[in-house]
Amino acid sequence: MTLSPHPRPLSAEDAAHFLRRTAFGATDAQIRALVGKDARTVAREHLNFTQARAPGNPFDPSQAASPFAGVQLTRAAWLYELLYGSQPLRELLALTWSNHFVVGTDKVRNVPVLAEYLELLRRQAATTDFAHFALEVAQSPAMLRYLDADQNRKGKPNENFSRELLELFTTGMGPYTESDVREGARALTGWTFKGGRGNQKFLEASEFVFLPNQHDNGKKTYLGQSGNLSGEDVVRIAATHPSAATFVARKLHRAFVADEPDAAAVAATAETFRRTGGSVRATLEELLASEHFYARRAAIIRGPVAFVVGAVRTLGQPRLETKQILALAQTAGRMGQFLLQPDTVKGWDGGREWINDTALLLRMQVAASLSLGTKAPKPTVPPTPLALLGRETPLAGTEHLSESQRTYLTLISPEFQLA
């Protein structure tokens, strides 16, 4: 079973929907540039990433004077790329994977290690080999440090990473036993990293190393396979397990289709993931060109980062001062989403968890700072209802307001909060 393709060339509202979901938002001109195009072609073009970066990024974490400052500058530099970069879908996927392969700055405060982790998420954003992606993450100093895998030694296995590899990164709850967790930990012994340890070396790079004398060479049985399994073996076995396809497919649907995914549609996406050997690129190309994707409108509550980035991109990416960007990164955190700091190892829950009285008040303040007052950025071209709402008609009752008032009320409306 596969998802049915979108049956017609993109209308203006189809194009607006696509860019609200894949680019956080867009201007009227960017939306209309996609009108009349084939849905599959549009999806394929947007997944054809380069590694280009937004020019003029003013934030340089390598110049930080402390680990705390390094984290703040790393967040601000990423937010700048989210706001102004030419590859918004790549960055959206990196944000999605940061909520899947979770690493938190409560434990990982080394600047080069965080940079390497982010580069990995970008490079593998639309990977054609999920198992290889999982292995790269597993061997990254950021993950080794975060889940204590660098402390995993023969005779004294640390099970943290082995457990999360199954529960949160690949199969999900159900397909594995406690024995699989223990055996996986044994296979992963001897993995560690060198360099960059301690607060005084937060600007020193780290690299993965394997310590053969700390590796358990005994026979292990893991998810039904037996032998002298290595760490590479267990990551591959977990990432290619049939249940991993469903687990990853549901994550992709939550990121791009709906907070509450349709089970039959998830099953169809999982089948594509299996058939293509774990190709996220092929799976997303089919999903983002499907009739199901275009039918599920206003089904995702924008998270704090998506709200901030969506507002700025919809307004035409006006240039904000460095202090404003730093403030927005902090405000997103106060709304519940500090970049690189999910609440727990299982990541942000998202959906309705994003909405509470404090978060709504902060969203109103952000909207006001971007649309009202003398310090609000002035859009070159006023945002249209199509850009703000994904439709041609404005909010009822706003037709006679000033441009800034109408923009503010639209940014705080339920219609804008839902993508």
pLDDT string in tens for the chain (419-residue length): 799 999 999 999 999 999 999 999 999 999 999 999 999 999 999 999 999 999 999 999 999 999 999 999 999 999 999 999 999 999 999 999 999 999 999 999 999 999 999 999 999 999 999 999 999 999 999 999 999 999 999 999 999 999 999 999 999 999 999 999 999 999 999 999 999 999 999 999 999 999 999 999 999 999 999 999 999 999 999 999 999 999 999 999 999 999 999 999 999 999 999 999 999 999 999 999 999 999 999 999 999 999 999 999 999 999 999 999 999 999 999 999 999 999 999 999 999 999 999 999 999 999 999 999 888 998 888 999 999 999 999 999 888 899 999 999 999 999 999 99
Query: How far is residue 239's CA from residue 220's CA, in Å, rounded to a whole number?
Result: 18
H runs (alpha helix) in 52-140:
67-84, 88-98, 111-123, 130-138
Half-sphere exposure of 192 (CA within 13 A, CB side): 18
Lookup result for tokens 């791009």: 256
Question: Strand pairing partners for 226?
Answer: 221
Q: How long is the chain?
A: 419
> How do strand 207-210 and strand 225-227 relate by DSSP bridges?
unpaired
Residue 160's H or E segment, with its range, is helix 160-164
Lookup result for tokens 């590899």: 165
**Token pair belonging to 34:** 């996609």
> How many C-beta neighbours within 10 Å does residue 369 have?
19
pLDDT at site 380: 83
Domain boundaries, the chain: 12-46+242-295, 61-239
| 8: CB partners within 8 A, 6+ apart | none
Query: How far is residue 348's CA from residue 102's CA, in Å, rounded to a whole number?
Result: 10
Task: Yes or no: say if 363 and 332 are a contact pair by the CB < 8 Å rule.
Answer: no
In single-letter form, the type of residue at position 368 comes to A
